[in-house]
Amino acid sequence: MKYQQKDFTEGLRSKIKNIELTLQKHIEKILNENKTVFAKKNLEFNADFAKEGDDPFVPGYTSSIAIGITDNINKNSELNDLHIIKIWECERTLLGMPVPKNIPGSKISGELLNESLEEIKEELRDYIGDVLQEVN
């Protein structure tokens, strides 16, 4: 869901922080639950919460969760699969194009994921299930 700078309220800030915290805890739970399952299939399973910036309403701030899977047999192997879900991104744009500086006429906006927390959790479960099925 897209938000314009005029929509940046403390309520939205709390909502962003709450979603980030909930998904960060969930991704840690998924990591703990599935690490041994993937290890038995000679795969390394990593899950992480990433955040750039301190203030969600400052351009350049982004937050996301990611699941990465690599082959455990060859330690130098590349990533087999990567699934990223962006939670929030704030950027400055001019005529729809991202710009790094405050140029007259540019606007600040943010985008929050559209899915509910339950939909995100289901998407992660499905993704992990699909990866495990492919390995069999």
Q: What distance lies between CA 25 and its chain's CA centroid? A: 13
| CA distances in angstroms from 120 to 40, 49, 77, 123, listed in the order given | 26, 14, 28, 5
Give every CB contact of residue 64 below 8 A, 6+ residues apart in sequence. Answer: 49, 50, 51, 84, 85, 86, 87
Could you tell me which of 82, 45, 58, 54 has the C-alpha nearest to residue 8? 58
pLDDT confidence of residue 75? 61
Degrees to nearest 5, angle at CA 65 with 39 and 113 = 140
State pLDDT tens for residues 44-68. Answer: 888 999 999 999 999 999 999 999 8
pLDDT confidence of residue 73? 59
pLDDT confidence of residue 71? 76
Could you tell me which of 32, 2, 21 has the C-alpha nearest to residue 65? 21
Do residues 24 and 51 lie in contact, with contact meaning Cβ atoms separated by under 8 Å?
no
pLDDT confidence of residue 2? 95
State pLDDT tens for residues 87-131. Answer: 999 999 998 888 988 999 999 999 999 999 999 999 999 998 888
pLDDT confidence of residue 115? 93
State pLDDT tens for residues 21-43. Answer: 999 999 999 999 988 888 888 88
DSSP codes of every residue in 65-110: EEEEEEESSSTTPPEEEEEEEEEEEEEEEETTEE-SS--TT-EEEE
Tell me the whole-structure pTM to 2 decimals. Answer: 0.86
Taken in order 26, 20, 128, 118, is the CA torsion positive or negative? positive
